[in-house]
Amino acid sequence: LPEKTLAMIKPDAVQANYTSAIRQIILSEGFHILDEKLAHLDDVAVKSFYREHAERSFFPSLIRFMTSAPVYAMILEREEAVKKWRTLMGPTDSNKARIEAPNSIRAKFGIDGQQNCVHGSDSPEAAVREISTFFRVLQESNVDSPR
């Protein structure tokens, strides 16, 4: 069953000109890109997007990083998109990714635990919320509901 997820190329990778290389990997792994856009997030947008991390010690630094340059947001669709995109990204910490998942995108293009080149929604419910922060779409539900 096709599922959607939000993929975001973060400021470190956009700045380093990795956008087209990462986009090519995504397409070669069988994802369809339904929509995509470059966006420069402000503090309010980042605080909302990452609100579940608001109490973490790295939050102020995360806000500075995520507002430092544009991001490139994409709606990805394929079977099990949320899980498949998270596997393709690899572990959050790019240095851990280089040891544990050397073929992952973070292993290839990430810098460290914060500047880790890409983001992916962590559940179908989060995907609905995150897609709506970037894209104004008439979105059907991404989760099964009883009928």
CA distance 41 to 20: 20
Q: Kind of pairing, strands 2-9 and 118-120?
A: antiparallel
Binding to ligand CMP, residues 91-110 (CB under 6 A): 92
On whether 64 is known to bind a ligand per the annotation, the reply is: no
Contact positions with ligand CMP (CB under 6 A) in 18-57: 50, 53
Bridge partners (DSSP) of residue 17 are: none
Other beta carbons within 10 Å of 103: 10
Q: Which of 27, 33, 58, 132 binds ligand CMP (CB under 6 A)?
A: 58
Query: Any idea of the CA torsion for 39, 42, 47, 49, to the nearest 10 degrees?
Result: -10
In angstroms, the CA 121 to CA 125 distance is 9
For the segment 113-132, give every residue that binds ligand CMP (CB under 6 A): 113-114, 116, 119
Task: Confirm or deny that 133 is annotated as ligand binding.
Answer: no
Q: Is 119 a catalytic residue?
A: yes
Q: Which of 7, 14, 26, 62 binds ligand CMP (CB under 6 A)?
A: 62
4 among the known binding-site residues?
Answer: no
Catalytic machinery residues: 119
Give contact residues for ligand CMP (rule: CB under 6 A). Answer: 50, 53, 58, 62, 92, 113-114, 116, 119
